[in-house]
Amino acid sequence: MAEKFQAVVIGGGPGGYVCAIRLSQLGFRTACVEARNTLGGTCLNVGCIPSKSLLNLSENFQKAKKLQNLGIEVGEVKLNLEKMMKNKEKSVSILTKGVEFLFKKNKVSHFNGTGSIASANEVLVTTKDNKKISLNTDNIIISTGSIPVELPGIKFDEKIVLSSSGALDLKSVPKKMVIVGGGYIGLEMGSVWSRLGSEVHVVEALNYITPGMDKEISSEFLKILKKQGIIFHLETKVQNIKNEKNSAKISIQDKTGKNSELIADVVLISVGRKANTKNLNLEKIGVSLDNKKRIKVNKEFRTSTKNIFAIGDVISGPMLAHKAEEEGIAVAELIAGQSGHVNYDLIPGVIYTSPEVAVIGKTEEQLKEGNIKYKVGKFPFMANSRAKTVNNAEGFVKILADEKTDKVLGVHMIGSHVGEMIAEMAVAMEFGASSEDIARTCHAHPTFSEAIKEAALSVEKRAIHS
């Protein structure tokens, strides 16, 4: 006999598990179906968490090699990649077990298996040993995330031709690594392996990296990454990749039409991700997709079938864990008759390289395109006392404010700690802050965050320290 629930969430990533917990908090008898053996989705298992672990450890490795210059004598600094990977796995395991604990605490029923939608009120779970479990439910929330995009005709083997999952799990440091795509994954993973000793080449189709970011930030970022030793091939197309068992042969063509070849130990394909709608039986149920094959939803996350909802990477919007979480909470509250909502204008983006990149709100290009008149305030970390003291003074803060009202419209930063500092601006902007509000807020000294205050002062050309 089918078990009866008020809500069944398919997918236990940051969208799905957060949604299941919130539904349970709101009094719904809730189940979450997850195909992986562990909870946490892409983010905890093969995304945000393992990548941030390796970014941190590789940065420490690189810093340790430079300690001598700072008057700290250490012995020879050597890499033990196996231990580093174990440390990464430990972080993943602690956090995925943490979600299991939260499910127990909040009385969410966890089903380990692949969920498919048998009818608008039934989810069928197929377990690894092929057992079928039927879940009867009033509401279904699809949160099945995304999967990496392959290049036409080139399959991931995760040994030579890698997706991000393979790049997070290499057994040795490749001598040479080619990365196709200069976006979030390419630049974070490129930084990791370059710090650990690989010669890293990034092949990017556009003439800039990190599309969608403020151009000034993206060109400063490019300059810094080049200085760190990453080699960029911009405006370059990949013609063909040959997997030669022990190496990859990548044929490329630059903007002048010149063809050449890169031979590498591994090639990482990081050209974006696509919605994962496999196994769900959507067509039969009548759930429509949009023109990019993502699940189409209205403002309340409702699909074309009334009691079926979708959130996270499987719908439109930035493919970010915190966006999926916000949607998970909003949809649970909407199902409960409350007024959950997500402010899509204020979703921060952070790239966890060194220095970090952190952005929120409109870019200068978007303001120009929308004919919105704006003022710019900028402050370099070179003039920030904390940044100078800790020898970490690359980058700047840029604030865009409305020319008339002074309301902050966008903040774009590159520098140390900016991934943490962006939260200050997210809160300020949610409250509709003006640049003057920021400029008149006392910031502790000496901190990196004083650069935000100075950038705000600089909107009215009255920065003190530059």
| Binding of residue 238 to ligand NAD (CB under 6 A) | yes
Phi and psi torsions of 50, nearest 5°: -60, -35
User: Which two tokens mark 44?
Assistant: 């905890």
Burial 301-334 (b: 16+ CB within 10 A, else e): bbbebeebbbbbbbbebebbbbbbbbbbbbbbbb
When computed from its CA atoms, the radius of gyration of the chain, rounded to whole angstroms, is 24
Range in contact with ligand NAD (rule: CB under 6 A) among 270-278, 304-312, 326-334, 378-386 = 270-278
174 binds ligand NAD (CB under 6 A): no
- The SS3 assignment for 172 reads coil
CB contact at 8 A, 163 and 154: no
CA separation, residue 134 to residues 108, 113, 137 (Å): 17, 11, 10
Minimum CB separation of residue 187 from ligand NAD in Å reads 8
Residue closer to ligand NAD by CB (options 308, 357) is 357
Chain residues 339-378 in contact with ligand NAD, contact rule CB under 6 A: 350-352
Residues interacting with ligand FAD, by CB under 6 A? 10-16, 33-36, 41-43, 47-48, 51, 114-115, 143-146, 164, 185, 276, 279-280, 312-313, 319-322, 324, 352
Task: Tell me, residue by residue from 3 to 22, as one string, x for binding to ligand NAD by CB under 6 A and - for no binding.
Answer: --------------------
Pick from ligand NAD, ligand FAD, none: which does 91 bind, CB < 5 to 8 A by kind? Answer: none
Q: How far is the CB of 360 from ligand NAD (least distance, A)?
A: 13
Q: 122: which strand partners?
A: 119, 136
User: Which of the residues 201, 412, 443, 445 is marked catalytic?
Assistant: 445
Contact 156, 273 (CB under 8 A): no
At which residue do the structure tokens 């941190």 appear? 56
Q: Which of 176, 201, 273, 417 binds ligand NAD (CB under 6 A)?
A: 273
Rounded Cα distance between 93 and 89, Å, is 6
Task: Kindly state the smallest distance separating residue 111's Cβ from ligand FAD, in Å.
Answer: 8
Q: Is 417 annotated in the active site?
A: no
Q: Which is nearer to ligand FAD, 114 or 384 (CB)?
A: 114
- Cβ proximity to ligand NAD, 57 vs 108, nearer residue: 57
Q: Is 147 in the site for ligand NAD (CB under 6 A)?
A: no
User: What's the Cα-to-Cα distance from 276 to each of 79, 142, 202, 279, 399, rounded to whole Å?
Assistant: 37, 10, 26, 9, 36
Residue that is written with structure tokens 């990649």 in the block? 81
Is the Cβ of residue 320 or residue 421 nearer to ligand NAD in the bound state?
320
> Minimum distance between the CB of residue 208 and ligand NAD, rounded to whole angstroms?
8
Stretch that binds ligand NAD, among 53-61, 82-90, 181-189, 422-430 (CB under 6 A): 181-189
CA angle 49, 60, 425 (to 5 degrees): 60
Q: Which residues bind ligand NAD (CB under 6 A)?
A: 180-186, 188, 203-206, 211, 238, 270-273, 318-320, 350-352
* Active site positions, annotated: 445
